[in-house]
Amino acid sequence: MRVAALALCSFLVAADVSPEPARVVTARARAGPRIARALETAGVPGPRTVLLRVFKEEGVLEVWVAEGRERPFVHLGDHPVCASSGGPGPKVRHGDGQVPEGVYRVTALNPWSQFHLSMRLDYPNAADRARNPGVEARELGGEIFIHGGCATIGCIPLGDEAIEEVYLLAQQTRAAGGEVSVLILPARPGAARWTAIVGRGTPGEVSLWRSLEVLSTRLDRTHRWPRIQAQPDGSYVAD
């Protein structure tokens, strides 16, 4: 069930500080052993690459981990997305309430978030800019986060317990020199909702969605995640 959006995704991204805020210390004590056990069971005790795959329509965030980009990924588990805004389709303007769709990177961790803990995505990226020629980057919006709490406009909220797990996993991976990538699709490819969404999309949207479908299907089939490049039309292709 969709949860009505209650608050804007407005955050201050804190610089690295020491010591850590109490909420992170508490989260590590609470969730750290659980994460370690899950990684040990998955056979990936020290992940160097994390992939978060989000299906907007289904309201699910999947966690995939690997010992390195060239190693196979393991599906570690799922978290429900507990609120949403907008609908199918990529974000195109500041204030449109849309959750972006595409391939992103986590570029910053915010332990001081007003929504407990948060992770910033690199929206708008090269593909977003390519799909909107002539539009200045600031007009495309920004400040897109995966965060705690269960209220949002344009971000991806997981609730406080789940964000602690995802945040700590991302922190561990980045501290080891690894990367956290995020794949966001309007729905799960092959599902009835996916077919309906693609059937009424604009040519530009369909081009984007088909490229994301290829990447998502490849992950399911091979458990591999290649390097991705943006195309001139704003779609994506494996390097």
- CATH code where residue 45 lies: 2.40.440.10
In a domain? residue 234: no
pLDDT of residue 103: 98
In a domain? residue 214: no
Q: Which residue has the higher pLDDT, 137 or 72?
A: 72
In a domain? residue 74: yes
The pair of three-digit structure tokens given for residue 218, joined into one six-digit string = 């490849």
Confidence of residue 5 (pLDDT cuts 50, 70, 90): very low
**DSSP element (H, E) containing 22:** helix 22-42
In a domain? residue 47: yes
In a domain? residue 15: no
Residue 157 to residue 101: CA distance in whole angstroms: 15
Among candidate residues 9, 147, 150, 223, the one labeled active-site is: 147
**Number of domains observed in the structure of the chain:** 1
Q: Which of 216, 104, 210, 207 is nearest to 155 (CA)?
A: 104
Question: Percent of the chain, pLDDT > 70?
Answer: 92
pLDDT of residue 137: 85
In a domain? residue 219: no
The pLDDT of 176-204, averaged and rounded, is 96
pLDDT of residue 19: 75
In a domain? residue 221: no
pTM for this entry: 0.92
Q: Are strands 49-55 and 118-121 parallel, antiparallel or unpaired?
A: unpaired
Tokens 């992940």 belong to 47
pLDDT of residue 18: 53
State yes or no: pLDDT of 12 exceeds 60. no
Residue-wise pLDDT for 206-221, tens only, equals 999 999 999 999 999 9
Average pLDDT of the chain, as a whole number? 91
- Our answer to whether residue 116 is catalytic in this structure is no
The DSSP 8-state label assigned to residue 71 in this structure reads S
In a domain? residue 17: no
Phi, psi of 93 (to 5 degrees): -150, 150
Among candidate residues 9, 82, 150, 155, the one labeled active-site is: 155
State yes or no: pLDDT of 104 exceeds 60. yes
Which residues lie closer than 8 Å to 30 by C-beta, 6 or more apart?
A: 164
The pair of three-digit structure tokens given for residue 11, joined into one six-digit string = 């955050």
The pLDDT of 4-11, averaged and rounded, is 36
Strands (E), the chain: 49-55, 60-66, 74-80, 102-110, 118-121, 145-147, 156-157, 179-185, 228-230, 236-238
pLDDT of residue 70: 85
The pLDDT of 81-108, averaged and rounded, is 96
State yes or no: pLDDT of 41 exceeds 60. yes
State yes or no: pLDDT of 6 exceeds 70. no
Domain extent, residue 125, equals 22-187
pLDDT of residue 144: 97
- Our answer to whether residue 147 is catalytic in this structure is yes
The pLDDT of 146-173, averaged and rounded, is 97
pLDDT of residue 69: 81
Q: Which of 83, 52, 49 is nearest to 185 (CA)?
A: 52
State yes or no: pLDDT of 10 exceeds 50. no
